[in-house]
A and B are shown apart, each in its own frame.
Chain A
């Protein structure tokens, strides 16, 4: 078995027949195995292992039996040993709640940094996707003004850091700089934010930290909320490399969410 450097995680590698790859990233333990005309994936999320150091081991006959659930087999007859893990952003909007709600005063603006978990896309050969797996399974939540109209989203908690130097970076969460603008005459209590994550680009900086396109959310005088997504990398990022395109495209980068609880 040999350990692969974790900073080369997103690069393509060779996984020959009878070889396996074991990746530990956040709470995700993922094993990928290449057999004759077959690829297998097994994964599980471990409790309370967020602080575990990410690792990537390549070896022959790594044991699958420890993982009892989430085993998937793929028949694939083409001769390829090329395997690549690609980071992707969430496939739904992410509703994030500050651990402690805070007030944004009238006619004020602020920046805050919200992190969301990434998905690992397992790709073999010539761009053939086997599976996408989140580094941890976020909780489902409902985002809407009532229980009959809205959308299913993911829920996360955030420290909602206002300062960049308070952010703790890791390889499995992407940071979204969010500009909040209160254009009304009253303060707004920020209890939750819905980020349209499928519309964001994913970047990495020179330290291999993950970032998304910046987002501006404006609470307008008529109590409506508009959201603007910048199609470029955040200003905080130097030497940005684009890792993934948005899952969904929008015709214009400014749109108004009719759901009044975009900011709640």
Chain B
């Protein structure tokens, strides 16, 4: 009876032990070949392409060979793949509708791969988030913010919105916007600022520091003083320049005014009358 049952089962599924063994061999071969070939190609391309591109290539090669050998395994087992093709068509339609967003992210990722607005290691600002790019994957990019948060940004968002790459160019400008009191001699202020910039070794000599008069504010004469540094020194420049300008202004007695209002009694020459009342004494 058992032998008859096995024979019936074999007849039902049109398979035998040797075919299972062959299928298993094909599957294992595919697994090993996919792994070896993908690593080989990764080793070849990693010195020529970016980390992101070589990673995507490795994954694509692996899955392509693996799926190929899965199909070969199924054929070896005697499955009629034409049925699968029909089912796959219907499945694709269903999945297509369901995964529009994912497909958009994948395609956006491919566009980003070609355009390369940023790479792993760059610092970017997108949608109010600023941080270092730690990976760029099929569906999204991963960012580590400076306060050590993990942020996942879909590739579609990266393609559709403005992305600022802080680390694209080797030098960067820092703008100091401030004001001094109206009583100050502006040429003296400019001289003091230029002297501070000149003495700061990480402040680039060129491009030259730039002074821009921004206008006459309510409480101060407003200006912008722009200085440059290497990308790596930008934070140190930001801190050191502001501290040194404050020290220099204190030393040179240049006032950075608080917001204030001047009240006139209707004439600039008559003083305003003032009476001090002692609250403790009666009357």
Contacts and interface: CB of A to CB of B under 8 A. Distances in A.
B170 A140 contact: no
Interface in A94-141: 95, 137-141
A245 B122 CA distance: 36
B105 interface: no
A168 interface: no
Interface of A: 95, 137-143, 147-148, 150, 152, 155
B220 interface: no
B240 to A, nearest CB: 13
B207 A140 contact: no
Interface stretch (B5-13, B19-27, B195-203): B195-203
B205 A147 contact: no
B205 A152 contact: no
Contact of B202 (A95, A140, A148, A150): A140
B264 interface: no
Chain B binding surface, main DSSP class: loop
Contacts of A152: 170-171, 230
B201 A142 contact: no
Given A137-B201, A152-B230, A142 B169 contact: no
In this complex, the member of B204, B207, B228 whose beta carbon has the largest number of chain A beta carbons within 10 angstroms is B204
Contacts of A150: 170
B155 interface: no
B229 interface: yes
Contacts of B170: 148, 150, 152
Interface of B: 169-171, 198, 200-207, 228-230, 233
Contacts of B207: 142, 147
B171 A147 contact: yes
A139 B198 CA distance: 8
A142 B169 CA distance: 12
Contacts, number: 40
B171 to A, nearest CB: 5
Given A148-B169, A152-B170, A152-B230, A143 B206 contact: yes
Contact of B206 (A137, A138, A148, A155): A155
Contacts of B233: 140
Given A95-B205, A95-B206, A147-B207, A140 B229 contact: yes
Contact of A142 (B198, B200, B202, B206): B206
Nearest to B229: A140
Contacts of A155: 204-206
Contacts of A142: 171, 204, 206-207, 228
Contact of B205 (A137, A140, A148): A140
A70 to B, nearest CB: 13
Contacts of B230: 140, 152
B201 A141 contact: no
Contacts of B198: 139
Contact of B201 (A95, A139, A143): A139
B202 A147 contact: no
A150 B202 CA distance: 17
B175 to A, nearest CB: 14
A155 B204 CA distance: 8
A139 B205 contact: yes
23 contacts: A95-B205, A95-B206, A137-B201, A139-B198, A139-B200, A139-B201, A139-B204, A140-B201, A140-B202, A140-B203, A140-B229, A140-B230, A140-B233, A141-B204, A141-B205, A142-B171, A142-B206, A147-B169, A147-B171, A148-B169, A150-B170, A152-B171, A155-B206
A155 B228 CA distance: 14
A140 B200 CA distance: 9
A140 B204 contact: yes
Given A139-B201, A155-B205, A155-B206, 12 more contacts: A137-B201, A138-B201, A139-B200, A140-B201, A140-B205, A140-B229, A141-B205, A142-B171, A142-B206, A142-B228, A148-B169, A152-B170
